[in-house]
């Protein structure tokens, strides 16, 4: 049986835990920099909450299951944007102003609507359970890691929320008079409206809410279980149910509440669509009422056990202080010096966003829902994780976790291998034990290969390889990860069979996965497999059109698609062969064979000129993943490395800001933020599945990365920059471990062995 997890601490392997405790005890001596700033105080949770960044300012612990978030995306013409929450992939948009409660368990930075339910709302005056009426404008917003607060202007109520890994607590400060707390179980971001709720006592309710259809996948449906406790006994309480209009039938309406029927007496529980709980109070001026919420994806009993374990004997301030400390400890694993305060805020907010997902899934007793089944299993060691947006995070988030938070990456890899045991396939875009099959490719391969080749161990790599080989070689009709694998294996490419079937995008992802698989096969001594998958990874050449000088879809008869416009697909317009982009966004998307691609395009000069034109003509899309590594491709060519340094600094300044619009589109569970983190410290993992980084000029004068000494053999990695002027970005020379370093690519092993990487910058 797994040990009980309290507050924001998780299960860890003994050796890793010892290393982390040593590291944390050391860094706690100087978590603040020379200005006296603590990393946690530099985070601005409002960054990315507009411009479709889809982050939110709610309270969450690092990689915690519970997040409690202000919900302001439905119900009023006062809102600047769409009024129907089910069109939104986020519970919060900075410029919206109509608050309808706090949602529990949410996603950060995603592009599809999901979860964001269990809406908790305080009100005053006459009881009204219609969210279109009971919502309120608000002001005085405050957000810090693990904390959010606002003031509801309609009711003069101060709201505050904080969280533990599996529970939340809200504190409402009421004015004098008739007050209410509402729990709306019908609304949320999910398309599902069904729920059940039961009164346990005057101050406790339990139940479940159905959620699902992420990215409109009807198979990915699941229940969330909850237990809610309130600190003050209500004068009375009950339920509501939204009544549906019935033609030709005399329906029973509640005269005072329009289409909502209130239930007061003798009602112990209620189930159905669009239901909720109301509680009435008579409060004194500035009286505080606290509401606790525990959740589980296993059972109501586990939700109660989570709540008892993580909040027993603690008040709101106790819980927030623990959450704040955990965030500061985690953020302090990378300490930066120099730069402006705005740059430090952008950096630590980006790092904060990379530590929200994936999330722990198991309850305090170790139980979790098995992948794609009704089984409940128990984890014996470490953490079971969920929310694997792998098409996004395989590019940089997992590389960051491997280097700086290896104990978490280790458990995430073990989770993925366990998912293969349970389901028969590696995850693609997994959500709370269900596979959504969102986006393309076979992304678990580069994630695990990258960590293995860097030296992260402690999991069954042979079983992982078995899973990878299965998805790489199984025919498409039986292959949920590579549904067009038959043609890919036979021809080396995927043809365009329907106008918008994303065929080129699919194949390019397979090439990247096969390159990683080839490297893993070689490391495991499987020479024949290594050659097979390497040769397959070069199939991108089929798509190169000499006529246009870019990648072009191929028809089933082998001819190129026409009429062809390389720019079609801008601004997420549908584009034949390409997903969420166009040919320019994908034509340099061969990170494993940059020199080969350059030869195909006519050599270094032709390649560099064409790549430079992507930036000069505005073809580069900073909001989508396929081209986010484009700036580093210059560094593969002697004499053109400076272009990488100029472009990365320009892109940071142009697209990452200390503002709600400060992320260029969906953060994609931390992927865009990880791009900023790596670039600001001076290196980037531009080829997933290969244990290398490309170097670029760092933003800060000094960066100290606290390492797990047990894992990496040293307790810190230091990056320094010497610049005569603040705007100097061109690298004139470098030193590694006090010795000259003349390459712009560096392996993970070389970087860690050197210990100190020093850049000398010029204009």
User: Looking at the predicted structure, is the pLDDT value of residue 1 above 70?
Assistant: no
DSSP codes, 279-335:
EEEEE-TTEEEEEEEEEESS-HHHHHHHHHHHHTT--HHHHHHHHHHHHHHHHTTEE
Task: Give the burial string for 329-341 (b: 16+ CB within 10 Å, else e).
Answer: bbbbbbbbebbee
* pLDDT for the residue 259: 72
* pLDDT for the residue 4: 32
* pLDDT for the residue 266: 57
* φ, ψ for residue 118, nearest 5 deg: 55, 60
pLDDT band at 26 (very low <50, low <70, confident <90, very high): very low
- 36 membership: H or E segment, kind and range: none
Give percent above pLDDT 90 in the chain.
Answer: 85
Q: Which structure tokens are listed for 68? A: 């409690």
Sequence-distant (≥ 6) Cβ neighbours of residue 744 within 8 angstroms: 635, 641, 644, 694, 695, 731
- Tell me: the pLDDT tens digits for 178-189? 999 999 999 999
Q: Read off the pLDDT of each residue in 343-365 and give the average, rounded to a whole number.
A: 98
- Tell me: the pLDDT tens digits for 454-499? 999 999 999 999 999 999 999 999 999 999 999 999 999 999 998 8
- Tell me: the pLDDT tens digits for 622-656? 998 999 999 999 999 999 999 999 999 999 999 99
User: Looking at the predicted structure, is the pLDDT value of residue 9 above 50?
Assistant: no
- Arithmetic mean of pLDDT over the chain: 92
pLDDT band at 31 (very low <50, low <70, confident <90, very high): very low
pLDDT band at 265 (very low <50, low <70, confident <90, very high): low
* pLDDT for the residue 112: 86
* pLDDT for the residue 744: 98
- CATH T-level assignment (fold) for domain 39-202+229-292+308-328: Beta-galactosidase; Chain A, domain 5 (2.70.98)
* pLDDT for the residue 6: 35
* pLDDT for the residue 573: 84
- Between CA 384 and CA 5 the distance in angstroms is 13
User: Looking at the predicted structure, is the pLDDT value of residue 7 above 70?
Assistant: no
Per the CATH hierarchy, to which homologous superfamily does domain 333-762 belong? GH92 mannosidase domain (3.30.2080.10)
Q: Residue holding tokens 């698989």?
A: 517
CB 275 within 8 A of CB 240: yes
Residues of the chain with CATH 3.30.2080.10: 333-762
Please give the model's pTM, rounded to 2 decimal places.
0.94
Sequence-distant (≥ 6) Cβ neighbours of residue 330 within 8 angstroms: 62, 355, 405
Instruction: Name the nearest CA neighbour of 291 among 117, 64, 120, 119.
Output: 120
- According to the per-residue pLDDT averaged within each range, which of 29-33, 434-438, 534-538 is highest? 534-538
- Tell me: the pLDDT tens digits for 159-171? 999 999 999 999 9
pLDDT band at 293 (very low <50, low <70, confident <90, very high): very high
Q: Which structure tokens are listed for 493? A: 């490419």
- Between CA 731 and CA 645 the distance in angstroms is 8
User: Looking at the predicted structure, is the pLDDT value of residue 249 above 80?
Assistant: no
User: Looking at the predicted structure, is the pLDDT value of residue 53 above 70?
Assistant: yes
pLDDT band at 762 (very low <50, low <70, confident <90, very high): very high
* pLDDT for the residue 37: 83
- Between CA 678 and CA 658 the distance in angstroms is 17
Give the max Cα distance, the chain: 87
Q: Read off the pLDDT of each residue in 326-337 and give the average, rounded to a whole number.
A: 98
* pLDDT for the residue 83: 61
User: Looking at the predicted structure, is the pLDDT value of residue 2 above 90?
Assistant: no
- Pick from 5-19, 129-143, 179-193: least confident: 5-19
Q: Which structure tokens are listed for 637? A: 């060519």
User: Looking at the predicted structure, is the pLDDT value of residue 94 above 60?
Assistant: yes
Residues of the chain with CATH 2.70.98.10: 39-202+229-292+308-328
DSSP codes, 451-463:
HHHHT--SS-HHH
> 332 vs 318, 319, 364, 654, CA distance in Å?
21, 20, 26, 26
* pLDDT for the residue 247: 45
DSSP codes, 529-588:
HHHHHHHHHTGGGGGEETTTTEE--B-TTSPBPSS--TTTTGGG--BTTBSSS-HHHHTT
- Between CA 112 and CA 38 the distance in angstroms is 34
- Between CA 403 and CA 414 the distance in angstroms is 17
């Amino acid at each position: 049986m797994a040990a009980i997890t309290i507050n924001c601490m998780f299960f860890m392997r003994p050796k890793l835990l010892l290393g982390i405790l040593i590291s944390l005890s050391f860094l706690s001596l100087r978590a603040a920099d020379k200005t006296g700033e603590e990393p946690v105080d530099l985070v601005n949770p409002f960054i990315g909450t507009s411009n479709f960044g889809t982050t939110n300012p709610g309270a969450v612990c690092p990689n915690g299951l519970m997040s409690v978030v202000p919900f302001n995306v439905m119900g009023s013409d006062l809102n600047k944007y769409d009024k129907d929450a089910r069109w939104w992939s986020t519970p919060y948009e900075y410029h919206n102003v109509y608050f309808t409660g706090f949602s529990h368990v949410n996603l950060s930075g995603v592009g599809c609507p999901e979860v964001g339910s269990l809406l908790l709302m305080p009100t005053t005056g006459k009881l009204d359970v219609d969210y279109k009426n009971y919502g309120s404008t608000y002001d005085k917003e405050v957000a810090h890691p693990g904390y959010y607060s606002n003031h509801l202007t309609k009711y003069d109520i101060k709201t505050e929320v904080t969280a533990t890994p599996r529970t939340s607590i809200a504190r409402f400060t009421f004015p004098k008079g008739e007050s209410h707390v509402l729990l709306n179980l019908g609304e949320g971001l999910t398309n599902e409206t069904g729920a059940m709720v039961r009164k346990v006592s005057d101050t406790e309710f339990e139940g479940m809410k159905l959620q699902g259809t992420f990215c409109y996948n009807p198979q990915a449906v699941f229940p969330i279980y909850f237990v809610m406790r309130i600190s003050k006994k209500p004068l009375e309480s009950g339920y509501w149910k939204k009544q549906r209009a019935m033609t030709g039938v005399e329906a029973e309406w509640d005269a005072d509440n329009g289409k909502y029927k209130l239930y007061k007496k003798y009602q112990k529980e209620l189930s159905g669509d669009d239901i909720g709980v109301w509680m009435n109070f008579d409060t004194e001026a500035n009286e505080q009422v606290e509401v606790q919420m525990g959740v589980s994806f296993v059972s109501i009993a586990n939700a109660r056990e989570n709540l008892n374990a993580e909040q027993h004997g603690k008040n709101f301030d106790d819980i927030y202080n623990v959450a704040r400390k955990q965030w500061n400890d985690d953020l302090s694993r990378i300490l930066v010096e120099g730069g402006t305060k705005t740059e430090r805020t952008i950096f630590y907010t980006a790092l904060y966003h990379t530590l929200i997902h994936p999330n722990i899934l198991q309850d305090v007793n170790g139980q979790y829902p098995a992948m794609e089944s009704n089984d409940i299993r128990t984890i014996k060691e470490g953490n079971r994780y969920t929310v694997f947006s792998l098409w996004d995070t395989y590019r940089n988030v997992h590389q960051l976790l491997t280097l700086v938070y290896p104990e978490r990456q280790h458990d995430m890899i073990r989770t993925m291998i366990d998912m293969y045991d349970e389901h028969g396939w590696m995850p693609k875009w997994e959500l709370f034990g269900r596979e959504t099959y969102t986006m393309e490719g076979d992304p678990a391969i580069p994630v695990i290969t990258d960590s293995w080749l860097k030296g992260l161990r402690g999991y069954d790599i042979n079983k992982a390889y078995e899973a990878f080989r299965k998805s790489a070689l199984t025919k498409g009709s039986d292959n949920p990860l590579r549904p067009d694998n038959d043609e890919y294996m036979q021809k080396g490419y995927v043809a365009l069979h329907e106008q918008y079937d994303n065929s080129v995008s699919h194949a390019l992802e397979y090439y990247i996965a096969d390159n990683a698989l080839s490297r893993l096969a070689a490391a495991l001594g499987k020479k024949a497999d290594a050659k097979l998958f390497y040769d397959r990874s070069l199939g991108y050449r089929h798509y190169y059109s000499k006529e246009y000088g870019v990648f072009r879809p191929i028809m089933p008869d082998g001819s190129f698609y026409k009429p062809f416009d390389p720019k079609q697909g801008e601004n997420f317009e549908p584009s034949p062969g390409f997903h969420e982009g166009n040919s320019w966004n994908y034509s340099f998307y061969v990170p494993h064979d940059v020199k080969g691609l350059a030869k195909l395009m006519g050599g270094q000069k032709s390649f560099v000129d064409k790549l430079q034109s992507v930036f000069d003509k505005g073809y580069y899309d900073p909001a989508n993943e396929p081209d986010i590594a484009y700036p580093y491709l210059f560094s593969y060519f002697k004499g053109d490395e400076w272009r990488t340094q100029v472009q990365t600094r320009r892109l940071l300044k142009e697209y990452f800001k200390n503002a709600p619009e400060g992320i260029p589109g969906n953060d994609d569970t931390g992927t865009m933020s990880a791009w900023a983190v790596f670039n600001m410290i001076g290196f980037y993992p531009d080829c997933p599945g290969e244990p290398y980084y490309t170097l670029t000029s760092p933003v800060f004068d000094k960066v100290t990365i606290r390492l797990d000494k047990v894992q990496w053999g040293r307790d810190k990695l230091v990056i320094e920059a010497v610049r005569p002027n603040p705007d100097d970005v061109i690298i004139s020379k470098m030193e590694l471990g006090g010795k000259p370093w003349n390459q712009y690519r560096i392996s993970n092993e070389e970087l860690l062995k050197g210990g100190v990487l020093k850049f000398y910058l010029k204009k």
